[in-house]
């Protein structure tokens, strides 16, 4: 007989579906139309299928980074010609955030080319977070690895999201980055989650990784408990002077498949069509939205590279009947 407390039993609470890499590889292998249909079913069960969230990025500290990430324009170890800059003054950050809000962004994401912030840097960043929050924007920062207590200071300042990507599958990580490990990334992600900050975590594709590696990255992201609230899927932007400058471009349909797999395995996360849009046609971006992407970086610059002008995105939204989330 059922006990009266059966309703409260943990077995009746929704549990997060766990995905094995092989299962995600099987999704990748579906006929394209079947994969997109599955992604649409999941997308429509959880979101308005025509609404897209917009975040604007600002590089608050550019270049001169100690890390050796093989894709990055900002590593001091690659000769990309990028000048190292100081942390931006507060006033410049506030002006950029206000301009982003005026153009329709709802979240402002500040990025710094650091292995991690020093305490005196963090104090300046917390002032930026509070000021941006006061403008009525959601706040996000990406500052590298955090030390004990730093996530709490960011939370206290009003931080809504921390971006820290897994970037690629564990088996490919060492091919791209040698100065820190994926375990270090998880350590910071745990600190962010522990402080009650939303997690923004995704990766990059088009770095010469296999389909299995793409599936393994998605499995890792979907396996985080809970899954990241926000999942940026970046297409590598090739940067002259970096080890990955000559990476062969990914088949565009494979990029769309990656978005669809992220949507299916992380049903309630915002999946962000991130770096690489400047090089994509409107038609390819439309396929990404059809595959379940429902967020973009908005504004003519990512961190150091170009992003489509706001006007091009406005026109695309209008042609596709997309609305701002
Ligand atoms: N230094 C911090 C870190 O590594 O977390 C924050 C800034 S870092 C530039 C943020 C993310 O941008 C990286 O994790 C990576 O996913 C993405 N990224 C950097 N360069 C890229 C490129 N050339 N193409 C695509 N994504 C890139
Ligand atoms: C993310 O996943 N992509 C953004 C943001 N998080 C910080 C950064 C993309 C950087 C693209 C290369 C550049 O502009 O330097
Ligand atoms: Fe530094 Fe981040 Fe670029 Fe790596 S991705 S080199 S940590 S700025």
> What 3-state DSSP class applies to 204?
strand
Give residue 13's pLDDT: 60
Per-residue pLDDT of 14-58, as tens digits, reads 678 999 999 999 999 999 999 999 999 999 999 999 999 999 999
**Where are the alpha helices (H) located in the chain, listed in sequence order?**
21-28, 32-46, 90-103, 119-134, 150-157, 170-176, 182-194, 211-223, 252-265, 282-290, 310-320
Domains with residue ranges and CATH for the chain: 21-319 (3.20.20.70)
CA distance 23 to 18: 10
Per-residue pLDDT of 148-206, as tens digits, reads 999 999 999 999 999 999 999 999 999 999 999 999 999 999 999 999 999 999 999 99
CA dihedral 201, 206, 207, 210 (to 10 degrees): 100
Per-residue pLDDT of 222-274, as tens digits, reads 999 999 999 999 999 999 999 999 999 899 999 999 999 999 999 999 999 99
Helix 211-223 vs helix 252-265: angle between axes, to the nearest 10 degrees?
20
Per-residue pLDDT of 113-161, as tens digits, reads 999 999 999 999 999 999 999 999 999 999 999 999 999 999 999 999 9
Give residue 286's pLDDT: 98
CA distance 141 to 79: 26
Give residue 15's pLDDT: 77
CA dihedral 262, 263, 266, 269 (to 10 degrees): 110
CA distance 247 to 209: 10
Question: Does residue 6 surpass a pLDDT of 60?
Answer: no
Give residue 10's pLDDT: 52
One of 38, 65, 277, 288 is an active-site residue; which one? 65
Q: Which atom of ligand 2 is nearest to the CA of 303?
A: 14
Q: Which residues contact 319 (CB under 8 A, 6 or more apart)?
A: 282
Check if the beta carbon of residue 242 is closer than 8 Å to that of residue 72. Answer: yes
Give residue 231's pLDDT: 98
57 C-alpha to center of ligand 2: Å?
8
Q: Within 6 Å (CB) of ligand 2, which residues are found?
A: 57, 73, 111, 142, 163, 165, 202, 232, 234, 237, 274-275, 302-305
Give residue 300's pLDDT: 96
Give residue 16's pLDDT: 86
Give residue 12's pLDDT: 58
Q: Which atom of ligand 3 is nearest to the CA of 142?
A: 2
The predicted model scores a pTM of 0.95
């Amino acid at each position: 007989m059922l006990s009266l407390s059966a309703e409260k039993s943990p077995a009746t609470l929704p549990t997060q579906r766990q995905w094995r890499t092989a299962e995600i590889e099987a999704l990748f292998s579906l006929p394209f139309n079947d994969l997109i249909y599955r992604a649409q079913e999941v997308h429509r069960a959880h979101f308005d299928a025509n609404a897209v969230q917009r975040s604007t990025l600002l590089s608050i500290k550019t270049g001169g980074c100690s890390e050796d990430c093989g894709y990055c324009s900002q590593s001091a170890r690659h000769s990309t010609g990028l000048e190292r800059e100081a942390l931006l003054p507060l006033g410049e950050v506030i002006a950029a955030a206000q301009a982003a809000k005026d153009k329709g962004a709802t979240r402002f994401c500040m990025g710094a080319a650091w292995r991690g912030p020093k305490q005196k840097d963090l104090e300046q960043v917390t002032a930026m977070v509070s000021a941006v929050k006061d403008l009525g924007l959601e706040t996000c920062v990406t500052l590298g690895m955090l030390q004990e207590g730093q996530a709490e200071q960011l939370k206290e300042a009003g931080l809504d999201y921390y971006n820290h990507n897994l970037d690629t599958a564990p088996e490919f990580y060492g091919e791209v980055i040698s100065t820190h490990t994926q375990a270090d990334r998880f350590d910071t992600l745990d600190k962010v989650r522990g402080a009650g900050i939303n997690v923004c975590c995704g990766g990059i594709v088009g770095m010469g990784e296999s389909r299995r590696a793409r599936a393994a990255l998605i499995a890792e992201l979907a396996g985080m408990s809970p899954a990241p609230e926000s999942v940026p899927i970046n297409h590598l932007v090739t940067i002259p002077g970096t080890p990955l400058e000559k990476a062969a471009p990914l088949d565009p349909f494979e990029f769309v498949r990656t978005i669809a797999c992220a949507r299916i395995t992380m049903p309630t996360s915002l999946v962000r069509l991130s770096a690489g849009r400047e090089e994509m046609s409107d038609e390819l971006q439309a396929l990404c939205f059809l595959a379940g992407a429902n967020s973009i970086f908005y504004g003519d610059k990512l961190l150091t590279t170009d992003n489509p002008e706001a006007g091009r995105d406005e026109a695309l939204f209008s042609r596709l009947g997309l609305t701002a989330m």
